[in-house]
Amino acid sequence: MKNILYIGPYKENTGLGRSSRRYIDALGYNFDVNLSIRPIYFTPYLDSGNESGKDYNEFEDNSSKYYDMVIQHGIPNCFEYRKEFGENIAITDIDTWGINHTGWVDRINLMDRVIVQSDWSKRSLQQAGTSTKIQVLPEPFDLSRFEKTYDPLFDNPNKDFVFYYIGKHQDKNNIKALLAAFFLEFRKHDDVKLIIKTDITGFDHQEAEKIITYDIQQVERALRINSKYVQAPHVIIGYYEQEYMMRLHKQCDCYVNVCRCESFGASAIESMLFNNLTITNSGTGANTYINKSNGLEIESFLTNIYSKDYYMENTYTIYEKWREPYLDSIKEQMRKAYELTSTEKQQKLANFNKLQFSEKSFVEGVLNP
């Protein structure tokens, strides 16, 4: 048994916080690990619960005189090397290309090993001059949750084909491009729906609803489309418990991930674990696992980031790059997904290896890289 100290943002209501809680669920209940955990905070947005419903107090109260591994999970400028520990491991999300200016690589190179979730992140670190060992290891999931029966979330009496997306309404997630592709490719008479689950950091429900409604109108205006001729998207705004999100995944047909940059793409992976068709942006994190053989790929190109959204001054700058999807390619892949036969869908999904996302596989990867 190995003594492991995990330091991460598991108390945050953020994407980083949710992945942190999945890491704890995988490590904490494995017989080969004696886990201690300590929190670190990157935002003021806290979540007192966790998706698994498990009590983490036992891990917070636990401590060891010596740790075989210390895992620091978060933003690299917080990483510190401690020689009194066995192996110093970093887990970090690298979303963009060209991070040389951030100073992150200097901190990462202090560590014995860095774990990232995708080939995209690994290549970005290599391009920036990372010399420490880089391990690609996907985030873990409790696979049993994807085999359960969930109550329907919405009425769909006509059995319409349902596209959907889950993510914050910010530049990198590119929701306007998804709206534009949907409006251009499908009309009101088509038996399709688009559901977008989103929120806007710093705005309450009513404020966010006004912003999103305005953005939808602006997309329609830019496309010279009369709203009465298009299928209006259904937008769900705000924070919802994991059970609600699982119900959404379960009832939908095709997840459309037009995100310009991301290290992993947890919602896209969850879609695949629910046996849904999944469209992903080529070259980004999710494309490590979802490709033409098991899903659908949007063609994209590498270009400089121009964004008002950032969580630190040195992130999402003009010096970095992300992958901009071609609008025509988004339309084409959505049409393909809509027209795919049941047999063709099953053939694709059969090529997706779910076991690589198991909690057991993650722990084995950490302990025996």
Helices (H), the chain: 15-28, 57-61, 104-108, 119-127, 175-185, 205-222, 242-251, 266-273, 327-339, 342-349, 359-367
2-142+357-367 and 145-355, same CATH topology: yes
Residue 51 has pLDDT above 80, yes or no: no
**Residue 50 confidence (pLDDT):** 57
CA distances from 39 to 35, 90, 113 (A): 13, 15, 21
**Residue 48 confidence (pLDDT):** 54
Provide the 10 A C-beta neighbour count for residue 249.
22
pLDDT in tens, 106-159: 999 999 999 999 999 999 999 999 999 999 999 999 999 999 999 999 999 999
Residue 227 has pLDDT above 90, yes or no: no
Average pLDDT estimate for 324-336? 98
Residue 14 has pLDDT above 70, yes or no: yes
**To the nearest whole percent, how much of the chain has pLDDT over 90?**
87
Residue 229 has pLDDT above 90, yes or no: no
Among candidate residues 88, 19, 314, 312, the one with its CA nearest the CA of residue 9: 19
Mean pLDDT (the chain) is 94
Contact 19, 50 (CB under 8 A): no
**Residue 20 confidence (pLDDT):** 94
Residue 44 has pLDDT above 70, yes or no: yes
Q: How far apart are CA 349 and CA 327, in angstroms?
A: 25
The amino acid at 228: K
Among candidate residues 163, 156, 159, the one with its CA nearest the CA of residue 334: 163
pLDDT in tens, 350-361: 999 999 999 999
Domain boundaries in the chain?
A: 2-142+357-367, 145-355
CATH class of 2-142+357-367: alpha beta
Q: How confident is the model at residue 53 (pLDDT cuts 50, 70, 90)?
A: low
Residue 49 has pLDDT above 70, yes or no: no
Which is it for strands 296-298 and 2-8: parallel, antiparallel or unpaired?
unpaired
The helix/strand/coil state of 221 is: helix
CATH number of 145-355: 3.40.50.2000
pLDDT in tens, 192-202: 999 999 999 88
Sequential DSSP letters for 190-216: SSEEEEEEE--TT--HHHHHHHHHHHH
Q: How confident is the model at residue 6 (pLDDT cuts 50, 70, 90)?
A: very high
**Residue 47 confidence (pLDDT):** 72
Average pLDDT estimate for 6-25? 93
